[in-house]
Amino acid sequence: MAVTGTTVAVAITLPAPAGAEDTPGARGTVAAGADAAGAAGASGGGAAGQGEAGTQAAGSAPAPATVAPPPVEGARGVGSDPLTDDELARAEQLALTPPAAAAQENVEGGRGPQHLATELADPQPGDDTRRADVRFYDYARDELITRTVNLDTGKVERSGAQKGVQPSAHPEELREALELILASPLGKGVKEDYEDATGKELTSTAQLWFNGDAYRPYREADVPPQLVRCGEHRCVRLVTKVLNGAWIDTRNLIVDLSARTVTRVG
């Protein structure tokens, strides 16, 4: 009995070193493209070189690649297109009704509610008008405010306020939470971990990468007394790391943004 063996080449793309870069997809793509180009050249023999002889001399470097600029974004979108930058800015401005906004507070305690998100509203049957749902959080009253703005007429068509509803945290809220951690006695361990990892002093939130979301006590087995109002209050939990470096564990530090306090859990 004759046995025929076939050799199979398997290409494996290794992940980037942990913590080397904070930009996803920054590595691991060039080698695969190079292998594919080499395989194509091998299977095509000298045909590719002959076809290019008229435009490129042998051994010369190829012309540098150029990237086409993105299309110019219009002031207004059409149909279900995402909201343009102009529409986002206009919707937020229209949703901030002056009399009420003056009495509301943002995450830093400043005048006006904290902007959370602006999204294209669901279309109404038989109506092509573009509307935007704008969400704010009023720290003065611990209320989520949602307003629907008609981008054609410039009018606020619907407005509502809810207590005890905590959507995902805005980057400005996460930054303020990190500021409160670093200013708190509980932030001492974070500063020590940073110095151990870098040999430098941690003095600013700009020295850290961070992310996080709302802390939801109903998911926790043991909630400290200081955090029982989270859900009514706006509370967040962060994950942090040195820029392009090691993780710093802050998951056991919960920040109550409404009360401006930091509590250790676990």
- 189 with 256: CB under 8 angstroms? no
The pTM of this model reads: 0.71
Q: What is the pLDDT of residues 45-100, one digit of tens each?
A: 444 444 444 455 566 777 787 777 766 556 778 878 899 999 999 999 999 977 77
Buried b (16+ CB within 10 A) or exposed e, 192-213: ebbeebeeeebeebeebbbebe
pLDDT at residue 22 in the model = 59
Cβ-based neighbours of 249, under 8 Å, separated by 6 or more: 193
- 265 with 252: CB under 8 angstroms? yes
Task: Report how far residue 128's alpha carbon sits from residue 25's, in angstroms, rounded to the nearest whole number.
Answer: 38
Task: Report how far residue 129's alpha carbon sits from residue 123's, in angstroms, rounded to the nearest whole number.
Answer: 7
- Joined together, the tokens standing for residue 113 give 């509610």
- Joined together, the tokens standing for residue 162 give 């809810």
Distances (CA, A) of 31 to 38, 125, 174: 10, 50, 37
Per-residue pLDDT of the chain (266 residues; tens, 9 = 90+): 444 444 434 343 434 444 444 543 343 333 434 443 444 444 444 444 444 444 555 667 777 877 777 665 567 788 788 999 999 999 999 999 777 788 899 999 999 999 999 999 998 888 989 999 999 999 999 999 999 999 999 999 999 999 999 999 999 999 999 999 999 999 999 999 999 999 999 999 999 999 999 999 998 888 999 999 999 999 999 999 999 999 999 999 999 999 999 999 98
